[in-house]
Structures are given as structure tokens and as C-alpha cells.
Chains A and B, each alone.
Chain A
Amino acid sequence: MNLKFISKRHLAMLVAVVTCTFSVAAYADRLADIKARGTLICATLTSSEPVGFVDPATRQVVGYDVDMCAAMAKEMGLKLEQKGVSVEARIPELTLGRVDLVIAALGWTKERAQQIDFSSIHYQIPIKLIAHTESGFTKIDDLSTKRISANKGSTPELYARRMFPKATVLTFQDSPSAFLALAQNKVQALAMSQTSGVRFVNESNGKYKFLDGILAFEPTGMGVKKDEPALLAAVNGALERLEKSGQNDAIWNKWFGVGTKYNIPREKKLTPISAFQ
């Protein structure tokens, strides 16, 4: 391209066009875009039972979050386009605008809420402590000065530190290592959400147990891009209607409820985000 032929006026026009394009992109209403498109791009995890995982029989991604995606799309009168995301990519995918809605076991934290907007909290998972059955511990307060393992960067780590400032919290790269530390008595308890911990407790034939009491209820919501008030309102409206019609309970009970291997009743109903801020 020969630069001699670009006059100042052309350059000014080019700058104006570019600026307009960007400002339009920045101020467009995402909800309007979604409606024009007719599909809701909804992101879930793909390898975390039971929220989003590949069903070996059908090779399809299924799970609680996937059903919630489908229910939300239907409620908003849209077709569903499901997308898999990793735990690390959940927030970037939203901020980069690649997906409309993230339903991926997204726990609400103050720091995350600075990056993205959260819908109302649609469920809350108890965070518990797991210990050796023969350890003699019965309730979580017995561990207030002991050693507790957790997954690095997880909310159980955060709540264990907060609840028991005198305890030593050791963190590991993944759940199996954190569990191994408990198995070898390097720590006296393992802090974990009840949904993830069920696997270790159930498969141990009574060697390990959940201690009585909970560290915290982890509030989980859906994520949308920041500063999209219309979309956030539409998501919250759809969630409220699903709560009223009993679908939120039904989908929960199908995957987590009494009679499943998780056996967790849905104690906490849909809660507005203002209750946590």
C-alpha cells in the first residue's frame, strides 16, 4: 500500500469510522443481539460430574448445568447453543463476549463479581470437612486448631482459612492429592464441597465421613458479561419463573437430590444477589 496517497482527510475519516465501529460494539445491547440471533450461547463444564460431563453411552455432554441451560433458553424463547468451557476459561470467555451465559458451577465471590455480573443465586452447596471415621472427630469445630487440606485456589480453602484462623490450611494442585494427604494422616481433615467430596466418602467403605456442621454455603449463580443490564434482567426473570414453576427444584432433584448418590436436598431457594454483596 502506497502511503503517499493517503491524505490527512482520508486518515481522519478512517479514524472516525474505526472509532464508531468500536463504540457501537461497546454500547450494543447484548440481549438485542441474542434475540436477533435467536440462539442462546450457554457455556458449561464438560468433565465434572454431575454438573456437566460426557455421557459414555451417547457421547453427549449432560448434567445439571446442561439441563439448566436448556431450561433457561426455553424460558427466554430461544434455541440453545451449548458450548464447553474449562474452569479457568469461564470468566475470560464472558469478558471476551464469546458466550452469552455461563452456567458452570460458578461460585460467587467478591473478586469474581468485579469481573462479571452474577445472576440471582440459584443454588448453594454446603462446604464440609471430611475426616477419618476412626479419628474421633465428630463436628467441624473439633478441627479449629488442626491441619486441613484443600484444593489450591478453591472456595473451600478460602472458607477454611476464614472460619478457622488458627488452623493450618495446606493446599494441593488437585483433589486427589488433597485427599491423599488426608489418607496418609498428613492432615486431619479435608475441606471440600459436599458434591465433590461425596465420591471420596462413598467409595471408602465407611473409612471416611463428613463431619457434622458446614464451613459455609457456597452461593452459585450464572455469569453474564458486565454492564449488560437488559440481559441480566432477562436472565433473572427467567430464573424466577423457573423457580415458581418448580423446575429449579425438579432439575436439582434429578441430579443432586435425595435418592441420587449425592443425596443433598435443595435447602436454599433462589436468592437475589443483593443478599451476598
Chain B
Amino acid sequence: MINLDFGAVLQGQYLDWLIGGAFTSLGLFATSWICAFALAVIIVALRALDFAPLEWVIAAYVNYHRNVPGLVQIFVWYFGVPELLPSSITGFINEHNGEFIFALIALFLNAAAYMSEDLRSGLRSVATTQMEAARALGLSYVQTMRDVLLPQAIRVSVAPLVNQSLSLFKSTSLAMAIGVAEMTYSSRQIENETYRTFETFAIASIFYLVMSWTIMAVGAYYNRHLQVKER
């Protein structure tokens, strides 16, 4: 008979690990999401310029991130890239929580590639005549993108962007492979010490579920209240 004892896991040092893991997961998600979204917007704007060489570079970037497993990308950044950097920089990063920094870089570059594709499809749903009309009114390219086209593109892209955000949130658990003490890492550590497998992973699952629902709720709220209404 299984006897469940959540108290054994939710106490003292183990509780500290869980809380620390939760904060690390959320911190990693929030920072990489902001960086990813900003980069995705920039990528989409550059892509819309129709400048062939730039287009190739961006396409290569997107394809790399879409076709190589996320875990491999994290390893490339953590174990591969430092080999190419001067040792002074590597040393500095190693001293300042290098695991978190490299995991963050790998995650946000990956998410930006996906998000830029979502935004690009949103942008394609906005009529090209709007670009022409805005430019004819004397708006610059940047103004046109910022004030006319992107707001409409983002509105169309909310659903896939929420999907992407969920995906990014769950991908933060990959960072455990390079020693980032996020939720999954903490759970495994507690499970290793207490052998309370079910309780530990039940708590971790609840955390991931609640956070994913929160992300979905934020997406739904944005859709309903925050964005410009279509007339």
C-alpha cells in the first residue's frame, strides 16, 4: 500500500530547495521570454525589409533553432561557445552564475526563432496596402511597423504566441542538464534524498500546471481587455 507523506518533502531544507527551484524556473522563464519577444519583433521587422542577404541570415538562424533539439542548443552554449571566447570573458561568466546565463541565452535565442515565425504569419495576414498607405501618409518605416503593422500582427498571433510561451516555460526544465537549480533539478535532488518519488513529482507537476494555466490566463486576458479592438 502506498502511504503518501507530503510533509516529508515540504519541510526544512527540501522546502527551501523547492522554493528556490520555483523562483529560478520563473526567473529563467520571465527573462528569456522578454528577451525572446524583443528579438522576435526585431527579426520580423528586418525580414519585412526584403533585403535578400539579410533574409538568408535570418532564415538560417530560424532553421538552426527549429531543427536542432533544445538540449543540444543548451550544451552548445554551455560547453561549446566558451571554448571560442577569450578566457578572461569565460572566467568572468563562470564566476557570475554562468550556468544560468548560458541557459538563458540558449533558451531565448531558441524561443525568439519560433516567436518570429508566429509574428511573421501574423504580419502576412495584414494587408500590404496598409504599409503603402502608412508610407504615403509620411510615416517612416519604423513608425509604420511600430504603430500600424505590428500591433495588428501581434493581435492575430496571440494564440500561437501563448502556445510558444508554454513551450518556453516547459523548456526551462532542460537547464537542469547543465546544473541550473530550477524546479525539475530541485525535485530530482529531493527525490534522490527522500525516495518520496510520487510526492516530489506531484508537487513539481502542480507547479508546472498552475504556472502554465497562469500563462494561458494572461493570454486570454490580453485578448479580451488589453489590445486594440477591431472596428
**B192: which A residues are within 8 A, CB to CB?**
152-153
The reply to whether B195 and A185 contact each other, CB–CB distance below 8 Å, is: no
B 53-84 contacts with A by CB, 8 A: 79, 82-83
The reply to whether B90 and A185 form a contact with Cβ atoms under 8 Å apart is: yes
Please name all residues of chain B whose beta carbon is closer than 8 Å to the beta carbon of A153 when the two chains form the complex.
Answer: 188-189, 192
Q: Are B83 and A184 in contact (CB under 8 A)?
A: yes
Say yes or no: B79 contacts A180, CB within 8 Å: yes
Q: Given contacts A153-B188, A171-B179, A172-B179, are A186 and B94 in contact (CB under 8 A)?
A: yes
Residues of A within 8 A of B91 (CB): 185
Q: B228 an interface residue at 8 Å Cβ cutoff?
A: no
Q: Which residue of B lies closest to A91 (CB)?
A: B195
- Judge whether A114 and B94 touch: CB under 8 Å: no
Cβ of A47: which chain B residues have Cβ within 8 Å of it?
none
**Whole-angstrom CA separation of A185 from B179 in the bound complex:** 15
Known: A172-B178, A173-B177. A184 touches B195 (CB 8 A): no
**How far, in Å, is A227 (CB) from chain B's closest CB?**
16
Q: Which residue of B lies closest to A169 (CB)?
A: B179
- Once the chains are docked, how many angstroms separate the CA of A153 from the CA of B200? 15
C-alpha spacing A186/B97, complex, angstroms: 10
* Cβ distance B38 to chain A, nearest Cβ, rounded Å: 28
A111-B79 in contact (CB<8A): no
Q: Which residue of B lies closest to A171 (CB)?
A: B179
For A115, what are the chain B residues with a Cβ–Cβ distance below 8 Å?
195
* Complex-state Cα separation, A186 to B185, whole angstroms: 19
The answer to whether A185 and B193 touch across the interface, beta carbons within 8 angstroms, is no
Q: Beta-carbon contacts of B175-194 to A below 8 Å, as 1s and 0s? A: 00111000001001100111
137-174 of chain A: CB within 8 A of chain B: 147, 149, 152-153, 158, 170-173
Closest A residue by C-beta to B99: A170
**Separation in Å of the B98 CB from the closest CB of chain A?**
6
Overall SS of chain B's interface: helix
Q: Whole-angstrom distance from the CB of B100 to the nearest CB of chain A?
A: 11
What is the CA–CA distance of A147 and B185 in the complex, to the nearest angstrom? 18
Q: Mark B150-191, 1 if CB is under 8 A from A, else 0.
A: 000000000000000000000000000111000001001100
**Residues of chain A contacted by B194 (CB below 8 angstroms):** 111
* A186-B98 contact in complex given A153-B189, A171-B179, A180-B79, C-beta closer than 8 Å: yes
B79: nearest chain-A partner, CB-CB: A180
Q: A170-B179, A171-B179 are in contact. Are A184 and B189 (CB under 8 A)?
A: no
Contact (Cβ within 8 A) B193 A111: yes
Query: Which residues of A have CB within 8 Å of B179?
Result: 149, 170-172, 181
Pairwise interchain contact A172-B195, C-beta atoms closer than 8 A: no
Question: Which residues of A in the span 70-103 have a Cβ within 8 Å of any Cβ on B?
Answer: none
CB distance from B197 to the nearest CB of A (A): 11
CB distance from A95 to the nearest CB of B (A): 11
Instruction: Give every chain A residue within 8 A of B178 (Cβ-Cβ).
Output: 172, 177
Q: Which residues of chain A in 166-210 are interfacial with respect to chain B, using CB atoms and an 8 Å cutoff?
A: 170-173, 177, 180-181, 184-186
Across-interface contacts of B82 in A (CB, < 8 A): 184, 186
| Cα A158 to Cα B189 with chains together (Å) | 10
**Complexed CA–CA distance, A147 and B189 (Å):** 18
Specify which of A114, A152, A184 is in contact with B79 (CB 8 Å cutoff).
Answer: A184
Q: Is the CB of A111 within 8 A of B94?
A: no
A114 → B minimal CB distance (Å): 7
* Interface 0/1 of A100-122, CB less than 8 Å to B: 00000000000110110000000
List the 3 closest pairs (A to B, CB-CB), nearest first. A153-B192, A170-B179, A186-B94
Residues of chain B having any CB pair with chain A under 8 Å? 79, 82-83, 87, 90-91, 94, 98-99, 177-179, 185, 188-189, 192-195
A residues engaging B (CB < 8 A)? 111-112, 114-115, 147, 149, 152-153, 158, 170-173, 177, 180-181, 184-186
Known: A152-B189, A171-B189. 13 other contacts (CB 8 A): A111-B195, A114-B195, A149-B179, A170-B99, A171-B185, A177-B178, A184-B90, A185-B90, A185-B91, A185-B94, A186-B82, A186-B98, A186-B99
